[in-house]
Structure 1
């Protein structure tokens, strides 16, 4: 399935979820589970990531703590659209990871964002980048807050995503807050979207689960604001 990242329909109204709790949702092609080796060496789903539009079409965004936790994680694998044990859009591995130096040195919660450039793994490539295969979210920097948003993430103990629609509020000048319970471990890095296109399911990405308390707790999720520093990190990753 190929979805154009530039095709934007009339955004669907994002009415709050009822009941207001993270619930199973339909997988979205650009959103997937991020795996790394567990303690036993077997692949372990530890986070969520999303394809975001870029000039080369090969860019993911996730939380920095998903890729650098005292050191860079190795043997990462991204599985977009994962469901029921099926990887419908293949497996993708990083060729480059960009994280703000302040996360590496200080674990600054305001810098809990990472970009990954990826290539297809496991079979001869047809030359198409991941964005041409899955479509992509449109990253939006310094987006206004207080409006409706949609949060999605893959729990570590299941291979289908959870989603919730609610308001993305300002926790502080540098953090977003999304007060919908039920996002457990594994959902870190999941996208916070506005202006979701009903035809493609893609939208404007204004944050990822992370930031304060590395994403929050069961009741509330957080995100570092995608500010000018994150925009610079994006430009560095796509240069």
Structure 2
């Protein structure tokens, strides 16, 4: 992200320690941008019914980011943005993603849950329940603070009470680790309640291009991707829930709500995915 995004509008006095920690990460690193005047020539996101395998990532009951189920042998993997779930070291150059409030570098602590196809005002509805996150895995580039190059994370979740994997219940998108930056994509995300009181998912289908400032990233221009949409999937050749297309990255930032970026999945992303799919340690 070239600039930090607006902080989440959540009162620190009303959330638990883990949720506050996550809000600090998101506020510093971005989950959507500030609003700007609408450009009639630029597409804008629209509300829709959602996709079963895309939902909200909660920390101790607070909505902060978006996540999705990624196809895996065990059916237990999600993908989101690294800045949603992992603090970077606060030493060295300030790049807008440093840890805050004395938090130690590493995965956030607390109760993390994934709610596929969440929607509804207030407490909302959970058509596929909540799935407990059991592991957080970020790439070496993120742990080494190599800018935004590693701003994605693979998570594992526990089975439900009936022993089913999340993928068995809601499906998944297949990852693509060899895509180029110029694609026709569908992006899905959940703006936070300040911009989206009914907690409806939004979507936009448009073309991407390489980010000139950060060539390992791709960017799109589509209005409406405010705080809360970070981690949302970028799906190439998407048709519908039964034909989701190929997952080539997740939303990681952008200068405004109308300019969003994603780290293009590459060989390092493949290595991390394969290690987690093969049964990596709880968090890394």
Of residues 44, 58, 70 in structure 1, which corresponds to 2:76? 58
- 1:203 aligns to what? 245
Of residues 222, 227, 244 in structure 2, which corresponds to 1:180? 222
Of residues 47, 58, 75 in structure 1, which corresponds to 2:65? 47
1:1-239 maps to which residues of 2 (within 5 A)?
20-37=43-60, 43-69=61-87, 70=99, 71-74=106-109, 75-84=111-120, 85-106=124-145, 108-120=147-159, 125-157=161-193, 158=196, 159-171=199-211, 172-198=214-240, 200=242, 202-210=244-252, 214-239=253-278
How many Å separate the matches in 1 of 2:165 and 2:254?
Answer: 29
How many Å separate the matches in 2 of 1:20 and 1:179?
Answer: 7
Asked if the contact 2:56–2:67 (Cα under 8 Å) also holds between the matched residues in 1, the reply is: yes
How many Å separate the matches in 1 of 2:178 and 2:227?
Answer: 27
Q: Which runs of 4+ in 1 moved over 3 A?
A: none
TM-score using structure 2 length? 0.70
User: Highest CA radius of gyration, 1 or 2?
Assistant: 2
Q: Unaligned 5+ residue runs, structure 1?
A: 1-17, 38-42
Asked if the contact 1:91–1:120 (Cα under 8 Å) also holds between the matched residues in 2, the reply is: no
- 1:3 aligns to what? none
Residue correspondences, number: 212
How many Å separate the matches in 2 of 1:165 and 1:48?
Answer: 17
Asked if the contact 2:76–2:166 (Cα under 8 Å) also holds between the matched residues in 1, the reply is: yes
Q: Unaligned 5+ residue runs, structure 2?
A: 1-40, 88-98, 100-105, 279-284
